[in-house]
Amino acid sequence: MRNLNEDTITQAVIERFSKTPDPRLKEILTSLIQHLHAFARETQLTEAEWFQGIDFLTRTGHMCDDKRQEFILLSDTLGLSMLTVAMNNKKPAGCTEATVFGPFYVEGAPKYENGDDVANGASGQPCVVRGTVRGLDGQPVPHATIEVWQADADGNYDVQYTELAHPQARGVLQARADGSFDFRTIVAEAYPIPTDGPVGEMLRASKNHPWRPAHLHFMIKAEGYETLITHVFRDGDPYLDSDAVFGVRQSLVADWVQQADGSWLLEFDFVLNPQKK
């Protein structure tokens, strides 16, 4: 295996990885090598551009810590996240659609009871969220675990405040036996994804705005059903048709309705897909 040239190297590398015992890993590596090489060959990537790519990936890695996930942000803004979600969530009509996970989920969110205020001090107009978790047959799913997270009135998630001592505007609660749930929080607002890293550079260089339409994140788990990772988007938001991460589904757009006392109400029901046996 000497004297590989641009015409012979791809097959040589694939051959090198052909000993991979796990067939799925072998399949993924083979496809990755083919597309990585095809990208370089198609663009006739220069050595200076290769260095820029190495530097971009390195800086992306250095932005990542336990509160910031720049690689997820990169995947989101290149549409890879939404493509992966779309491929893996082909559900029967009637199920609530999935959308991107996003970079701001944090493990170990605080636990709440129905009726509690998950805002926990986050800025924003008060809002009640309520709904029911059901199966495709319309019957309630009892005791689903509902995790929610969202940005505050300034468009920031709690983890974006370096000085904040406790989680805000995120929490986990359980639906009741009849599938119903309700909690208090703040109204979701549109916000820009963080632009102080390599992804921000990419968006500026491509004249793309970093805004996401207002949304509330949900992850809903119940025994016997597929986990649902989704958002509810706020109707009327100016960014619904240009979401920086390509995540909007019309079926997930809902009315936040202002009440007589000035507070807001979001009613949204979720329909889970039975787990494949």
Tell me, what DSSP letter sits at residue 139?
A: P
CB of 46 vs a copy of itself, minimal distance in Å: 6
Identify the bridge partners of residue 186 per DSSP, sorted by sequence position. 126
CB of 236 vs a copy of itself, minimal distance in Å: 14
Which residues have C-beta within 8 Å of that of residue 123, sequence separation ≥ 6? 152, 153, 154, 186
For the chain, give the longest Cα–Cα distance. 77
CB of 85 vs a copy of itself, minimal distance in Å: 7
Which residues have C-beta within 8 Å of that of residue 20, sequence separation ≥ 6? 26, 29
- Given a contact cutoff of 8 angstroms between Cβ atoms, the answer to whether 174 and 144 are in contact is yes
CB of 77 vs a copy of itself, minimal distance in Å: 9
In terms of C-beta distances under 8 Å and separation of at least 24 residues, what long-range contacts does 90-96 make, across chains too? 91/226, 91/273, 92/136, 92/273, 94/136, 94/271, 95/136, 95/271, 95/272, 95/273, 96/228, 96/230, 96/251, 96/252, 96/270, 96/271, 96/272
Kindly give the residue spans of alpha helices, DSSP state H, lying in the chain.
9-16, 23-43, 47-63, 70-77, 80-88, 198-205
CB of 9 vs a copy of itself, minimal distance in Å: 5
CB of 17 or CB of 258, closer to a copy of itself: 17
Nearest to 185 by CA among 202, 171, 165, 200: 171
CB of 53 or CB of 121, closer to a copy of itself: 53
CB of 190 vs a copy of itself, minimal distance in Å: 15
